[in-house]
Structure 1
Amino acid sequence: KGNKQRMVPLGDCALVAVLAWLEEGRPELAARARKRTPQQPVFLNHRGGRLSRQGWFQRLREHAIAAGISRDISPHKLRHSFATHLIEGGADLRAVQTLLGHADISTTQVYTHLSQSHLRHAYQRHHPRA
């Protein structure tokens, strides 16, 4: 987001899917993938250019529909869910800030929210009089 470059960790399943896509889905990228630089986009539009913000949104919606997901979905909601899952899983706020690319920690604090059940569980687990 915000045209900032950063490293993004990928799980094994996602890594396998991206590598397969590079080799099979977009063979013209396979050669570039071997000598990858941060300036080369991985995901391209149909003309071979960098995928735009609107292009990402459209592709996400297409895949959601194909997967039978009827709820409204957006890249922003995925980022929000990503941050929330990290925090609820025990990640510290500074790590989440770095992963999201936020310059100011207060942006991360506003961006994330914790479910009531997570807050209740944290209270019961850590407060001496719970």
Structure 2
Amino acid sequence: MREGGPGRRAGGNTGTAPWADLTTAAHLTDYEGRAERRPMTREEIQAFLDHADAQVERAIRRGRKGALAAYRDATVFKTLYGWGTRCTETSRLDVTDFYRNPKAPELGAFGALHVRYGKRSKGSPPRRRMTLSVMPWAVEAVADYVTNVRPRYAAAGANAALWLTERGGRLRAREIEDRFADYRDALGMDRDLVPHCLRHSHVTHQIEDGADPAFVQRQVGHRYPSTTALYTGVSGDFMNTMMRKVLDRALGGGE
């Protein structure tokens, strides 16, 4: 995906930065899982994120307090797709979970995301992973939220949670799911679509765009017996080399 993405500044000065055209690309393989876990098409994601952005502008025009929450939710959905995170993983993120990546200095403090509450195995604690940032437009959206929107929450200085509520708590996974359903239904989309479909879309579109499957699977923390061989010998150097290739492609600087 090329650089671009929705962007706005808090405080009523809104606008939309150039968004890369999300052209249709055939999936590499037919999806054989549950219908509600299918990847969303690029057109569906484009329409969904546009609708999420429009709710911010609508709240601002009407002078409603919901503008902060709408902006937060739009950024949450961009995070789910931009980093391929699960709903619970995303809700549990803290501001300090983003890190600089010396191999991607142009992404500033958002070059990597430490996912601390990954899916656990039976009897085991949550699995942690470091996911390298490869979608510059998503980085821009989160950076803008952290700098200009999150500080407007009353609890911003006392709560480390990345996604805050008006009551000062942490946004819950259930609330993300409910807002997703509201937007999905407003757009008349397939009612089987759930937030997890954004994660499937991240995986599918990265592979379609030429990312190495081993890199993508490591990024999102997949662990399937049939793909164990793909993970064998995948070192940190390999991960950063592949990240650099994907990032350069997204920035238009690579083949």
Which range, TM-score by smaller chain? Answer: 0.5 to 0.7
Q: Contact 1:94–1:105 (CA<8 Å) still a contact in 2?
A: no
Residue in 2 that maps onto 1:60? 180
Q: Contact 2:206–2:216 (CA<8 Å) still a contact in 1?
A: yes
Give RMSD over aligned pairs: 3.5
User: After the TM superposition, which parts of structure 1 deviate over 3 Å for at least 4 consecutive aligned residues?
Assistant: 5-8, 62-66, 105-109
The TM-score, its normalising length taken from structure 2, stands at 0.32
The TM-score, its normalising length taken from structure 1, stands at 0.55
Identity within the alignment, % = 30
Q: Contact 1:96–1:108 (CA<8 Å) still a contact in 2?
A: no
Of 183, 190, 198 in structure 2, the residue corresponding to residue 71 of structure 1 is 190
Q: Contact 1:93–1:108 (CA<8 Å) still a contact in 2?
A: no
Equivalents in 2 of 1:99, 1:45: separation in Å?
A: 28
Gaps of 5+ in 1: 33-38, 110-130
Residue in 1 that maps onto 2:202? 82
> Structure with the greater relative contact order (CA < 8 A, sep ≥ 6): 1 or 2?
2
Q: Identify, as 1 or 2, the structure richer in strand.
A: 2
Gaps of 5+ in 2: 1-85, 90-116, 119-127, 229-255
Equivalents in 2 of 1:65, 1:16: separation in Å?
A: 27
Listed one character per residue, the Cα deviations across residues 60-81 of structure 1 (whole Å, up to 9, x for unaligned) are 2334456x35233312111111
Change (3 A) 1:64 1:46: farther
Q: Identify, as 1 or 2, the structure richer in helix.
A: 1
